[in-house]
């Protein structure tokens, strides 16, 4: 969850338009991992994160799992890219199987069918053969599988440094400029 929250912060800071989709499980995970109460309704979450990260009016839109009329649910209004961060193996399996039982899965399906960038940050380990086969299936369909494995060549000193490493890699794939980490071979 810290990766997803930091990614949201950085995208908003960079002036990007963000459609945030989250599940009820995200509320549990936010409480467990960050001791943070994620607002229950999409509108409350939109107001909270907009205030927290100083979003411009309309820059952030938040949708719940069952909001089937969200723009990202249709190929006629696809997002430029989608990141599922973090992504459970259940959600990953549903996407790999082409199932769309909620808005997150449907938006991922739209990203794939419209040949848009889809980045999945799996949250579980170790991976079973089934997990790996699902990831391979998605990778073959063009998905970037980006496990939250921070590097250590930049000599992280805090947990935030390790979170920033992973978020920096996501931002790199999205083509969003950042200064979260020192790049390989660059002066420290």
* pLDDT tens-digit map of 7-36: 999 999 999 999 999 888 888 999 999 999
169 among annotated binding-site residues: yes
At the top level of CATH, the class of 2-174 is alpha beta
Q: Is the model's pLDDT at 188 over the cut of 80?
A: no
pLDDT score, position 154: 87
CA angle 23-134-78, nearest 5°?
55
Q: Residue 51: in which H helix or E strand, if any?
A: helix 42-52
Tokens 């739209």 label which residue? 110
88 among annotated binding-site residues: yes
123 among annotated binding-site residues: yes
Gap between the Cα atoms of 158 and 160, Å rounded: 5
For 102-149, write each residue's pLDDT tens digit: 999 999 999 999 999 999 999 999 999 999 999 999 999 999 999 999
In the chain, domain spans: 2-174
Beta strands in 5-135 (DSSP E): 18-22, 60-64, 81-87, 117-122
Contact 68, 105 (CB under 8 A): no
User: Other CB atoms closer than 10 Å to residue 126's CB: what's the count?
Assistant: 6
Q: What is the pTM of this model?
A: 0.95
Residue 27: partners with Cβ closer than 8 Å, 6 or more residues away: 37, 38, 40
90 among annotated binding-site residues: yes
Q: Which of 118, 114, 116 is nearest to 104 (CA)?
A: 118
For 53-106, write each residue's pLDDT tens digit: 999 999 999 999 899 999 999 999 878 999 999 999 999 999 999 999 999 999
């Amino acid at each position: 969850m810290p990766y997803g929250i930091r990614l949201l912060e950085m995208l908003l800071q960079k002036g990007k338009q963000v459609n945030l989709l989250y599940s009820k499980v995200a509320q549990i995970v936010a409480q467990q991992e960050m001791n943070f109460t994620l607002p229950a309704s999409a509108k409350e979450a939109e107001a909270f994160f907009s205030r927290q990260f100083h979003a411009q009016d309309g820059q952030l839109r938040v949708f719940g799992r069952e909001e089937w009329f969200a723009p990202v649910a249709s190929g006629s209004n696809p997002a430029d890219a989608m990141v599922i961060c973090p992504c459970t193996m259940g959600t990953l399996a549903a996407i790999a199987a082409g199932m769309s039982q909620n808005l997150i899965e449907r938006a991922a399906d739209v990203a794939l069918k419209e040949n848009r960038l889809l980045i999945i940050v799996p949250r579980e380990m170790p991976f079973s053969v089934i997990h790996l086969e699902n990831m391979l299936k998605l990778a073959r369909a063009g998905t970037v599988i980006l496990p939250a494995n921070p590097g250590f060549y930049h000599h992280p000193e805090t947990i935030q440094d390790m979170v920033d490493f992973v978020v920096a890699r996501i931002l790199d794939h999205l083509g969003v400029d950042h200064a979260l980490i020192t790049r390989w071979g660059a002066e420290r």
